[in-house]
Amino acid sequence: MLFFVIKFFRDICCPRKKRDEDIIVSSRLPWLWVGVHFADGNIGDMTYEINNAITCDVKVVDLDFLRAVVPVHPSLTWKYIDTETLEEKDFPSEGFVIDAK
């Protein structure tokens, strides 16, 4: 009984911030970084925006998904850094299948 009372007051006074169950952990994604190369030569880091847009409902991340999250001109080149090889590569037009498990 005492344990229940302590737990009850702890939960009320110090609630833990729960992580949204819909968010996919970044360690499950096939990239370390995602960016876009602009026409003026600058490179925009879009990793935060893309990673936050990926939920359990998203099955495929392709160029259409990237452009929906970050509206840029379709002619711009998307790049990513592969988690296995650590090489910068062009984002594949067929995209990546995201495993939410």
Question: Per residue in 40-63, pLDDT tens?
Answer: 989 999 999 999 888 877 788 999
Domain annotation covers residue 4: no
Q: Check residue 8 and give its pLDDT.
A: 65
Domain annotation covers residue 76: yes
Domain count, the chain: 1
Domain annotation covers residue 38: yes
Q: Which domain holds residue 32?
A: 23-97
Please give the full DSSP string across 15-82, using - where no structure is assigned.
---PPPTTBPPGGGSSEEEEEEE-TTS-EEE-HHHHHHH-BTT--EE-HHHHHHHS---TTSEEEEEE
Q: Check residue 32 and give its pLDDT.
A: 93
On average, the pLDDT of the chain sits at: 82
Residue 18 confidence class, pLDDT cut points 50, 70, 90: very low
Domain annotation covers residue 82: yes
Which residues are within 8 A (CB) of 79 and not within 5 positions of it... i.e. 6 or more apart? 34, 35, 36, 37, 43, 88, 89, 90, 91
Q: Check residue 82 and give its pLDDT.
A: 93
